[in-house]
Structure 1
Amino acid sequence: MNIYEALRASHDTQRQLCEELLSSEPNAQSRKELFKTLKVELEAHAAAEERFLYCPIMMEDAGLSISRHALAEHHEMEELMEELTTNDPTVQGWLTRAKALCEKVNHHLDEEEKAFFQLSGKLLSDKQKNTLAKDYLSDYERLKTKYSS
């Protein structure tokens, strides 16, 4: 498995969780649980991805700009998650903000898969792609456990 295959698996999970969250009933408990699951997934994925894909790509002149852009989008998603975390999912406007988060997530994933993966794929060797996948997956699983508790 290379880094892109590993990342796509999480991307698919993120898309599915967003879809489930946005179609969820306004029951506070079920929405809270879905949001917590999405938040853990996004946080673990972002941290591991930044360490094991963005950092190596930022070391290359050709990858600096696109990495900065991706990091900025991660930050925007973090801010939306923080806002959603501090509010009750049954209050008016919460679902609108959740929709904004999911739109940002889907935009980021699409952009990453269509542009970032192609550019970074040219900058990394096959061996690096495989090593980065192992490191990413290990850190991703560790972070999911950490953020779930």
Structure 2
Amino acid sequence: MPHQSSLLKQQEAKSTAVAHAKVIAPGVPARLGSTPSTTFRGNPAIFGRLVEDHDKHRALLAMIEATSPKDPARKLLFEEFVRDVHGHAAAEEQALWSTIMRNPETTQFARHAVGDHHKIDKLMADAAARDITSPGWLRHFAKLKEEYLDHILEEETEQFVEAEKTLSPPDQRYMRRVFSRRKKAEKAAAEIEKKIALKPT
């Protein structure tokens, strides 16, 4: 049955993404629970590759939350999350959104996604600037987690859906190759910025 085959492919893609997160701290549980339903999970082109990263990030967020303040795994997991998200966002903008932005029908989706990336950058810098071993650190982290999960849900259920309509299958496969190459370079160059976010007046 093709439907069963598709579900199996999706489960395998999610398991692989979680395994990539677990490499950082094998002893920390990755309790994701259910993830939002998307037809892109396991897709061989650009959108499947992006969802693969999203699932890894969901796992990292769950693992960070499962650590205690003094657990050295918390810092390792958080730094991996920040670097991976930086690399992911920069490569996504280069491989996907720069093209989508040129189409008047999809410009708003691309701009919204890129705007979210900047907001998340500020929240990551705020969390990085605070004492990760303090009992209250998870409160600041919770805001970052909420914003990031909202962002990737919106991408998977709205923005990718609209973007896909304007791209041919060969374009999507080409974008995956561009994304993978740029992600590696951008992640390697990523620095962890530390800057407390000013409260809105």
After TM superposition, the score normalised by the length of structure 2 is 0.70
Match of 1:26 among 54, 69, 80: 69
Residue identity (%): 29
Amino acid in structure 2 at the alignment position of 1:43: H
Match of 2:173 among 120, 127, 130: 130
**1:6 pairs with 2:49:** yes
Q: Indicate the SS of the match to 2:133.
A: coil
Amino acid in structure 2 at the alignment position of 1:63: T
Amino acid in structure 2 at the alignment position of 1:51: Q
After TM superposition, the score normalised by the length of structure 1 is 0.94
Higher helix fraction: Structure 1 or Structure 2?
1
CA contact (8 A) 2:69 2:135 kept: no
Q: Distance in 2 between matches of 1:148 and 1:55?
A: 23
**1:106 pairs with 2:149:** yes
Q: Indicate the SS of the match to 1:62.
A: coil
Match of 2:161 among 104, 109, 118: 118
After TM superposition, the runs of 4+ consecutive aligned structure 1 residues lying more than 4 A away are: none
Q: Distance in 1 between matches of 2:77 and 2:70?
A: 11
Task: Please show how residues 23-102 of structure 1 align to structure 2 within 5 Å.
Answer: 23-27=66-70, 29-102=72-145
User: Residues 4-42 of structure 1: CA distance to partner in whole angstroms, max 9, x if unpaired?
Assistant: 111111011010001111121111632211110100111
The structure with higher relative contact order (CA 8 Å, sep 6+) is 1
Q: Distance in 1 between matches of 2:74 and 2:164?
A: 37
CA contact (8 A) 1:4 1:117 kept: yes
Q: Indicate the SS of the match to 2:130.
A: coil
Tell me which structure has the larger Cα radius of gyration.
2
CA contact (8 A) 2:54 2:152 kept: yes
Shift of 1:96: 1.0
CA contact (8 A) 2:69 2:134 kept: no
Amino acid in structure 2 at the alignment position of 1:37: E
